[in-house]
């Protein structure tokens, strides 16, 4: 696939079929993610592929955290189960603020690589965020250090929708030549 076409045509998908995704395809996406540019070669990205039983346990944990807000738990559960594959991505901190920022940027680049790889392999994705992924209980559950920064929850699978036409502001409107 042409990289330029992939950048222009990849779109976030919110509705997935429940067709399972072969482990080899997920591994290919992760392999390509780690080829992201990475100043200082700290390789700060950490990936957690959640299986069905992990997602069920996560919903139980969240229910104990948010006992009074059943709607939040129900919505979180629906999103967790919306695609056959869910990958949580965190960035490790650096030894100072500058390196921590560089690590976060490198991990975002790894996410973009993963999204483009998935698109090239015929998979659909959406990059989601949310404050719950920063919680100590979440970090303990998946086994990531407390000071790691959450970058994204990638939902992956086969699309069950026709993507909307994407529109972007022209680069000319957001660019100054100095």
Between CA 123 and CA 16 the distance in angstroms is: 10
- The topology under which CATH files domain 16-51+84-161 is NADH Oxidase (3.40.109)
pLDDT tens-digit readout, 70-82: 787 888 888 888 9
**Which residues are within 8 A (CB) of 138 and not within 5 positions of it... i.e. 6 or more apart?**
58, 61, 132
In this predicted model, which residue has the larger pLDDT, 58 or 176? 176
97-120 and 23-33 are packed helices; what angle lies between their axes, rounded to 10 degrees?
Answer: 140
Question: How many Cα atoms occupy the beta-carbon half-sphere of 29 within 13 Å?
Answer: 31
Check residue 163 and give its pLDDT: 81
Tens of pLDDT, residues 66-117: 666 778 788 888 888 899 999 999 999 999 999 999 999 999 999 999 999 9
Nearest in space to 86 (alpha carbons), one of 11, 136, 21: 21
Q: Three-state DSSP class for 106?
A: helix
* Predicted pLDDT at 13: 94
Q: Which helix (H) or strand (E) holds 46?
A: strand 45-50
Q: Which run of H or of E encompasses 90? A: strand 85-91
Q: In this predicted structure, what is the pLDDT of residue 115? A: 98
- 34-55 pLDDT, tens per residue? 999 998 999 999 999 998 889 8
pLDDT of residue 148: 97
Task: Please count the other Cβ atoms lying within 10 Å of the Cβ belonging to residue 61.
Answer: 15
For residue 109, the SS3 value is: helix
Residue pointed to by tokens 């998908």: 13
Indicate if the pLDDT at residue 178 is higher than 70: yes
Model pTM?
0.93
* R_g (Cα) of the chain, nearest Å: 17
The residue ranking higher by pLDDT, 65 or 175, is 175
Every domain of the chain and the residues it spans: 16-51+84-161
Give yes or no for residue 147 having a pLDDT over 80. yes
């Amino acid at each position: 696939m042409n990289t330029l076409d992939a950048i222009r045509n990849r779109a976030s998908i919110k509705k997935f079929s429940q067709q399972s995704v072969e482990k080899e395809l997920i591994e290919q996406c992760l392999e390509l993610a780690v080829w992201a540019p990475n100043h200082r070669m700290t390789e700060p990205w950490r990936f957690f592929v959640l299986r069905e039983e992990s997602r069920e346990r996560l919903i139980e944990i969240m229910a104990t955290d948010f006992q009074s807000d059943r709607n939040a738990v129900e919505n979180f559960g629906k999103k967790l189960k919306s695609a056959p594959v869910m990958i949580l991505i965190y960035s490790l901190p650096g030894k100072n603020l500058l390196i921590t920022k560089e690590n976060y940027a490198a991990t975002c680049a790894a996410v973009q690589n993963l999204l483009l790889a998935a698109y090239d392999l015929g998979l659909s994705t959406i990059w989601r965020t949310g404050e719950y992924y920063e919680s100590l209980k979440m970090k303990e559950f998946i086994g990531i250090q407390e000071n790691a920064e959450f970058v994204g929850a990638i939902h992956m699978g086969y699309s069950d929708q026709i993507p909307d036409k994407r529109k972007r502001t022209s680069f000319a409107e957001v660019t100054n030549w100095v």
